Amino acid sequence: MVTFRAAENAFNSKKLAEAAQRYGVVVDKYPEFGQVNAARKGMGTSLYELGKFEEAAAALQQVPPNERVGEMAGVSYLLAECLIKTMPADADDALATARLVDQIEQASSAAECICGGSGESSRGARSAAEDRSDESSGPPACWLTPMRKRKT
């Protein structure tokens, strides 16, 4: 599909706003397209890179959890990170507290998808994250690439 390839080209050219818009066209107009979830990931990734975390989370949540494997594994990581970045610092009332708890549960579920439900202890996951945090902040670059074939 030409629109999907145009979105990938825009993403690779760091034209993130254009990429998000083009991926959005694919998602909205062609929901039966075979790579619609790759388009959702691309749209979410572009919006994430633009700092639009709430919009990115909305796009990434459209990818079914059972599809978040292999090339799509990064969806869960980005979704969890978007949910964490958009959490309020505090909750002033019961309703705000309930929203915060719901958002924490969603981020936790997304993080569980990252570990594959392997039963890895939270300390083990924390250690792995701490080890990686020395190298860089944010998700691994391979998870940010929406293309099926990555450039090396």
Q: Which residues of 111-139 are buried (b: 16+ CB within 10 A; e: fewer)?
A: bbbbeeeeeeeeeeeeeeeeeeeeeeeeb
Q: Convert the pLDDT of each residue in 106-150 to its tens digit.
A: 766 666 655 554 433 333 333 333 444 444 445 544 444 443 343
CA–CA distance, 43 with 59 (Å, rounded to integer):
7
- Which tokens hold the place of 96? 């705000």
pLDDT digits (tens, 9 = 90+) for 87-116: 777 777 777 777 767 767 776 666 665 555
Q: What is the rounded average pLDDT for all residues in the chain?
A: 75
- Average pLDDT value for residue range 54-76: 90
pTM (two decimals): 0.66
pLDDT of residue 112: 61
2-144: in CATH 1.25.40.10:
yes
Percent of the chain with pLDDT over 70: 66
